Structure 1
Amino acid sequence: MSGRVSRTVIVAVVGFIAAALAVLGAGPAYAHGFSSTVYADISSGDENHVRTALELEYDLFVVSAADYEDDDPLFQAGTAAFDDGDTAAQAAALNGHRRTALDYVTERFSVTSGGDSCTPSQVGDVTMGAREGVPYARLLLDWACPAGADAHEVRSGLFPDAEDYVKGTKTIVTYDLDGRTGSAALDAGNPSFSTGQSWYERFREFFVLGAEHLLTGIDHILFLLALIAGSRRLREIVLAATSFTLAHSVTFMLAALGLVDVPAAVVEPVIALSIAVVAGWHLWRLWRRGDHATDLETTGRGHFSLDRAGWIRLGIVFCFGLVHGLGFAGALGIDEAWSWTLLWSLLVFNVGIETVQLAIIGVVFPLLIVLRRAYPRVGLWATGAIAAGVSIMGLVWFFQRLFAS
């Protein structure tokens, strides 16, 4: 490789190592960070009763219910148990202060029947579980509802932005109620749903949920940027994106329908490693073949076909796409029996993901092409910097998630 390319890559790597080290000390790999997800399973109970099983992120639940007051008994007991990683102590902290915990939930989560409020009561003790390596508290509530209504409405305002602990909390609801089954996604812009809602309203929610999931999933965006940076022709990025899409669509559907179950402790580190490998592949190509490296070769008729390295790259992307699909399904967190409604909801969620993915490619890739052609040296700096930064971030997250699991 030319000296110019070598210097470009080295400078880019050094600069992004400094940035990555700053991020490495920022917090644990599984911290809830800027958002959280609540899971609600709703079903019919005895006559005129509704049963809800709520799963809430444990540490967020504790600090929110105690309003982050150091002298609050729930805060003291709950945070100590969280730091120790003792799930029995975590459950005991919430059960020992069940009135505080219950009041927080029922003030922000409600069920109504025909416009009239249902009255909640707690069933049993709070229990502990985990989702994607994060401790979750499970709370069972029984709601006594007025008789006569043929539809129920559920409203969730848990962990709102105004509390300043997280931003953009979503509540994923699965229900078997009023003779209807399905799923719904609630957030600040769409805080409620009714079992009588139309099919297109439910599908719109899942389209938006899929789009927002990719936009807020920085690891998936970085993987996509690594694919873009490593592609010099439109056909390259189309083939790579198609391979990724096909792979993650397969495992996403299988996992979301409960046919495949891989622990998050395995999925999350591999997703991080995939980011580093795909970005590192581009750096290796630059090092070996210079800025004109490509995975396409010209045939005698002027058409393009994949060379051996191109097929290897597609295979790597496809394999890692399978793992990313498991990550998408884990984030959705739906747990219900098979139905055509569920299948279409999952497909619409996936369409939301793909729409944002294509939009990112449609914006970033043409800009890089124009930059490479108009200013080759600047374009080289840009792709080298993107690949180096993405690769290092992937490695940072890989070790964080590996040791956190």
Structure 2
Amino acid sequence: MDTVHPVEPRPQLRGLGVYAPGMPIEEVARRYGLKRIVKLASNENPYGCSHKATDAVVREMTRASLYPESLGPELVQKLAQKAGVRAEQVLIGNGSDEIIRMLSRAYVHPGDEVVMADITFPRYQTNVRIEGGRVVAVPLREGVHDLAAMKAAICDKTRMVFVCNPNNPTGTVVDKKALLEFIRAVPEHVLLVLDEAYIEYVEQEMLDSIALLQEHPNLVILRTFSKIYGLAGLRIGYGFMHPAVVQSLIQVKDAFNTSRLAQAAALASLEDDEFVENCRNQNAQERERLTKALRSFGLEVYPSEANFVMALVEEDGMDWFNALLKRGVVIRCGAQLEANPHTLRISVGTPEENDFLLTVLQEVLPDLRKETMQG
């Protein structure tokens, strides 16, 4: 089929990659004819979602023929109350991904510079490039944002800065004191986007970023219901920011960007703190067990505070990915994440899922290392 089309797309799309999600279980089953498949590729909650969210979705289906409220005022009010901010400081989106897109669409002019880590959530870079912005990627230091170098990279052309904390895909967090100093150092005309998608999984004491909103009107905090709340399939996230920023994003958002079902599920999820606490505790236990096991295999593992771990391997990460995939374990390797090709990102599963992963790893390790030695 001829791929040349007479209508040229925008020049910003040239060379722009396409987001590669974790391989679906159904596709693996078709390809290899496997009956048992464990997906540890997309940082999903292996414990599902709260039964309160499920019940709310079932009830809301009776009104599925009606458009949702565009701004989700009931959910916004609940989020504001829970965070201790005003409702006009809250915006919901079709996942926090959409709010990233709104921010780029509303604030990035062609030629503007946007500072971010060189290995972080790739949708920051994608959206900035679509708007004609220039990405300034600052190398991580031992898997952690180098805030001093990021500060030095800010110049007159800088329009926005992204800090993913915990960082995806390394799972690392920045020092609390260093982050506070960084927030205070970013010029007020530069938007500082603090992406806290995995904040609920963190065990160590973190900076209370929301408390800084009043003092720093250029601060935007992103969070999501996709991770610990288990609503990834419903696509709903949210952000805390200055009311003026909220209004700018409303101008560029889609009319009905979040569904009735998503809003209802999110609202109900906020009423189930016990579910969140149980997921956090289970994740912490299994994350520690998984980290220790991987290190016992001789792998270096970044200290993660998220619901995934990143390990460094001597071999090409794609070799590991394929070896595990053929045996029914789906992970992501660095090449799929625009990261170091000698890395693997593995979501933390249930105890049973992690047992299966470790068993398969023990099976494939000898062959993988034999190939490396022969090479």
Q: TM-score, normalised by structure 1?
A: 0.21
Which protein is richer in helix relative to its size? Answer: 1
Q: Give 1 or 2 for the bigger CA radius of gyration.
A: 1
Q: TM-score, normalised by structure 2?
A: 0.23
